[in-house]
Amino acid sequence: MTIKVPIDHEEHQTSVFDEEKKELILDGFVAPDMNTFGHSFRDYDADSERKRSVEQFYKLSHIYQTYEFVQRMRKEYGSLNRVEMSIWECCELLNEFVDESDPDLDEPQIEHLLQTAEAIRRDYPDEDWLHLTGLIHDLGKVLLHPSFGALPQWAVVGDTFPVGCRFDESNIHYKYFKDNPDFNNQKYNTEFGVYTEGCGLNNVLMSWGHDDYMYLVAKENKTTLPDAALFIIRYHSFYPLHKAGAYKYFMNEKDHEGLKWLQVFNKYDLYSKSKVRIDVEKVKPYYISLINKVNIYHS
């Protein structure tokens, strides 16, 4: 999967999106009281129909997401030589999948993408870069599709976490890490592991999945989306950091700035998971216009 756009964001050239991003304050956002199952959000102990399958998902993820596995996946998928299709085609492709790790949602993924984007658009109509980020943040889940490798869900979705260092106990279903080969490896099981304090999250390998894949897609093809958008895409599932404050010792100054934006975005990503349906055909022209601004396509 590839995103191709004409300008490299890391060179700090002028973007088609407004670089003068004002601080977003959640004064217009009202979080719902409960998720689609009638429980509080991210309640992994709630006795819902999803509880057992979600826990089994995390068991597999925590056992098989090793430092070596992530290195191998990044090398294999970093070549971006899969299938060419438009962003909107990728959105529609996700209609075939339901995220097995999510205790709050059992709707097709395109519903979640549009719910997130539309919730942001309603409260912050002038921040079109953030609207588009809401739409594409989960597109890496196409890794589930046969065209993109048909990876198992544990290698695509779910909360993300650093590999190559000690697993923090704030990770959901932490107990299953004890069966991960890296858990007792002295090279990887210390606080800093193979990293150094303040090295920057960009130098830390995260568990492999749709977040890191979509980040690679955007970065390697020189997207014009601002740095804040790339931080959101890469770390929006990194709940141990932005909910529990874990792993902050790896962060540098740039990461702290990105985290501010991520914590804003996360409220929309999480609390927009509801039974409110979006009229896809009504909003489609607007998002197509944003996609066309940066000439985005996938391959």
Angle at the Cα of 119 from the Cα atoms of 116 and 125, rounded to 5 degrees: 120
pLDDT band for position 17 (cuts 50, 70, 90): very low
pLDDT band for position 47 (cuts 50, 70, 90): low
Q: Which parts are annotated binding residues?
A: 42, 99-101, 112, 137-138, 141, 158-159, 210, 236-237, 269
pLDDT at residue 28 is higher than 50: no
Q: Which parts are annotated binding residues for substrate?
A: 42, 99-101, 141, 158-159, 236-237
Looking at per-residue pLDDT, the higher value among 275 and 144 belongs to: 144
DSSP string, 69-101: HHHHHHHHHTT--S--EEHHHHHHHGGG---TT
The region of weakest confidence among 47-51, 65-69, 254-258 is 47-51
Contacts 24+ apart (CB under 8 A), 268-271: 268/29, 268/116, 268/119, 268/120, 268/134, 269/116, 269/134, 269/137, 269/236, 270/41, 270/42, 270/104, 271/29, 271/31, 271/32, 271/41, 271/119
Compute how many other C-beta atoms are within 10 angstroms of the C-beta atom of residue 230: 20
Q: What is the C-alpha to C-alpha distance for residues 271 and 29, in angstroms, rounded to an integer?
A: 10
Q: What is the C-alpha to C-alpha distance for residues 118 and 95, in angstroms, rounded to an integer?
A: 18
The region of weakest confidence among 97-111, 187-201, 215-229 is 97-111
pLDDT at residue 91 is higher than 90: no
Asked if 10 and 221 touch (Cβ cutoff 8 Å), the reply is no
The pair of three-digit structure tokens given for residue 271, joined into one six-digit string: 């609390």
Helix and strand tally (H, E) in the chain? 10, 2
The region of weakest confidence among 23-27, 176-180, 239-243, 245-249 is 23-27
The pair of three-digit structure tokens given for residue 17, joined into one six-digit string: 């999106």
pLDDT at residue 177 is higher than 80: yes
Q: Which parts are annotated binding residues for Fe cation?
A: 112, 137-138, 210, 236, 269
127-157 pLDDT tens trace: 999 999 999 999 999 999 998 989 999 999 9
Mean pLDDT taken over the chain: 81
pLDDT at 276: 65
Which H or E element spans position 35?
Answer: none
